[in-house]
Amino acid sequence: MLGCGLLVALSLSAALPRWRLDSNPNPPTPGQINSAAGRVKQQQASLGAAQNHLSAASRALDQLQDQAEVLTERYDETLVNQQRAAAAYKVTQARLAAARSAEDASQQQLAGLAAQEFESGGGFDAVTSMLGDASGPEGYLSEVGMGQVLAQQGTDTLAVSQANDVVAAVFRTQAHDLLAVQQADLRAASALKVAIQAAVARQVQFVQADQAQRSKMATELATAQAHEAALVSARRAYLAAQAAQRAYLAAQAAQRAAAAAAAESSNASPAWSASSGASANQGDIAANWALTQIGKPYQWGGAGPDSYDCSGLAMVAWEQAGVQLAHYTGYQWESGPEVPLDQLQRGDLVFYATDTSDPGTIHHVGIYIGNGQMVDAPYTGAYVRIDSIYQPGLMDAAIDPAG
């Protein structure tokens, strides 16, 4: 880091003579600057109203994009829950089948004992009595002394049969309840899908209207800029020199701050255990794969290979590294140890929420690739791309997935 900083400082120092203020022998006079500034203010006044409208439109568009993404994540959550209910239903069906088999077996055993009684002398009348007795098989067995025979055999077949009946009834009820949950989840997912489609449709209309407005403003701005350029051409070189000097000084300050932070970081112990999350190699695999998906369109509920939503992209990226994540930002937030933002490593997941103090409001996730940047699938109408992680709603910690 220090070596790179030295190279940057040397390159900036070498460039310094080309923009130093004292290298310009004829800077604009105060009168020229004041005249140009006055005309610029006139142009700024004419553009002010349009700029305010554009800012309001941009804020409204951001809110609509957040709304669509929140609905998308709820849809993903419902699908995950429905899949889990379906799996549980299959397990319960298997248990019910086993209980039914046990029930049939115990009934056959009971019938066999009755047959033995018939063959041993009870006769057809005894069997008929057993089947027709108002008190049922229990009363019959009591009359013919079958209870003593069963006790001698060490097996209470009738009790087993009744127990198997109860078990089968329990599993029938459980299977029915799970099926109801599954069907409710499917109805909820369908309703949520309709809501998402409506939000996306509104968003597309809003984007189209915003694009038309931006096109009109671009024409107006180009006209204003052409007029302003004629007024400020005498000042441009001087102002550029000032800006370059400020950038140079800022770069030196940033270099010193980075060196100090690196030295402090090397001596500090992390607040979390890296061993509890994925390895650095796994993080590189997830980050590098995410970079290969740049340019693919955003699609709510998408999990590749041709389109993604934010949590779908994160899920498939970490799948390449052997870590299984659910297709839902809320569950991904819980998938590993928290990482302070000043200790981010490639592949870590950064999250965004409408209320950063409440993880329950998380609605977006990105894959960190280094240098304060991430790969993410931002919103409908956009494509998988590289963005700065410093966006509104950034949570104060990231997650190192552990599966």
User: Which pLDDT tens digit goes with each residue over 216-259?
Assistant: 878 887 888 787 787 776 777 778 766 866 776 787 677 667 65
pLDDT at 60: 86
Please report, for the chain, the start and end positions of each structural domain, with discontinuous segments joined by +: 30-235, 279-399
pLDDT at 125: 52
Q: By percentage, how much of the chain surpasses pLDDT 70?
A: 73
Q: Which of 129-133, 223-227, 250-254, 289-293 has the highest mean pLDDT?
A: 289-293
pLDDT at 161: 66
pLDDT at 363: 96
pLDDT at 14: 39
Residue range 329-353, pLDDT digits in tens:
999 999 999 999 999 999 999 999 9
Segment 119-131 shows an average pLDDT of 53
Q: Is it the case that residue 375 has pLDDT exceeding 70? A: yes
Residue range 137-168, pLDDT digits in tens:
666 556 556 556 545 554 566 666 666 777 77
pLDDT at 3: 37
Segment 86-101 shows an average pLDDT of 82
One CATH from 3.40.50.300, 1.10.287.2610, 2.40.50.140, 3.40.50.150 for 30-235: 1.10.287.2610
279-399, CATH topology level: endopeptidase fold (from Nostoc punctiforme) (3.90.1720)
Between 107 and 152, name the one with better pLDDT: 107
Q: Is it the case that residue 123 has pLDDT exceeding 70? A: no
Q: By percentage, how much of the chain surpasses pLDDT 90?
A: 31
pLDDT at 311: 96
pLDDT band at residue 262 under the 50/70/90 scheme: low
Residue range 304-325, pLDDT digits in tens:
899 999 999 999 999 999 999 9
pLDDT at 385: 97
Q: Is it the case that residue 105 has pLDDT exceeding 50? A: yes
Segment 91-111 shows an average pLDDT of 80
Average pLDDT, the chain: 78
pLDDT at 171: 73
Residue range 275-285, pLDDT digits in tens:
567 889 999 99
pLDDT at 119: 66
Q: Is it the case that residue 215 has pLDDT exceeding 60? A: yes
pLDDT at 267: 45
Least confident of 41-55, 114-128, 251-265, 308-322: 114-128
Helix H, strand E, coil C: the string for the chain is CHHHHHHHHHHHHHHHHHCCHHHCCCCCCHHHHHHHHHHHHHHHHHHHHHHHHHHHHHHHHHHHHHHHHHHHHHHHHHHHHHHHHHHHHHHHHHHHHHHHHHHHHHHHHHHHHHHHHHHHHHHHHHHHHHHHCCCHHHHHHHHHCHHHHHHHHCCCHHHHHHHHHHHHHHHHHHHHHHHHHHHHHHHHHHHHHHHHHHHHHHHHHHHHHHHHHHHHHHHHHHHHHHHHHHHHHHHHHHHHHHHHHHHHHHHHHHHHHHHHHHHHHHHCCCCCCHHHCCCHHHHHHHHHHHHCCCCCEECCCCECCCCECHHHHHHHHHHCCCCCCCCCHHHHHCCCCEEEHHHCCCCCEEEEECCCCCHHHEEEEEEEEECCEEEECCCCCCECEEEECCCCCECCEEECCCC
Segment 14-37 shows an average pLDDT of 66
